[in-house]
Amino acid sequence: MSKKSYEVLNDPFLNKGTAFTKEERKEFELTGLLPPQIQTIEEQAEQVYAQYKSKEPLINKRRFLMEIFDTNRTLFYYLFSQHVVEFMPVVYDPVIAENIENYSELYINPQNHNIYQ
């Protein structure tokens, strides 16, 4: 892979957050750019799910999930696969209808959560 450092972290298809191993952190020049603790995807999902559960109302839960989607697709799909029944009404109907109705107030710049040097 030719991407390094911030390019990896800003690519939601490559970014694994704290799941990068020591070797990967060195290879992709991520040392010092991530918290030092390495987590498995299961640990990440448990942590993110606890954060998700603390969000209210549903539109904030949806926004939170979409932030995960925009930054770490692997984690998003792993987490979603663990909670499909719970997440479907949050990510799709009826919450998406509320999101559309309030679009001008809630606009989130998609995939533009870049980390810069």
Residue extents of the structural domains in the chain:
1-39, 41-95
Q: Give the C-alpha separation, 85 to 89, whole Å.
A: 8
Contacts of 17 (CB under 8 A, 6+ apart): 34, 39, 44, 71, 72, 75
pLDDT in tens, 75-91: 999 999 999 999 988 88
Q: Give residue 32's pLDDT.
A: 95
The tokens for 113 are: 């959560």
Which of 1-5, 40-44, 80-84 has the weakest average pLDDT? 1-5
Q: Give the C-alpha separation, 114 to 7, whole Å.
A: 9
Q: Give residue 114's pLDDT.
A: 56
| % residues pLDDT > 70 (the chain) | 79
Domain 41-95 matching CATH 1.20.1370.30: the answer reads yes
* Phi, psi angle pair for 65, to nearest 5°: -65, -40
Overall average pLDDT of the 86-112 stretch: 69
Nearest to 18 by CA among 52, 51, 42, 50: 42
pLDDT at residue 51 tops 60: yes
pLDDT at residue 5 tops 80: yes
Contact status, residue 107 vs residue 78, Cβ threshold 8 Å = no
pLDDT at residue 50 tops 60: yes
Residue 77 CB-half CA count within 13 A: 6
- Burial of 116 from C-beta contacts in 10 A (0-12 / 13-18 / 19+): exposed
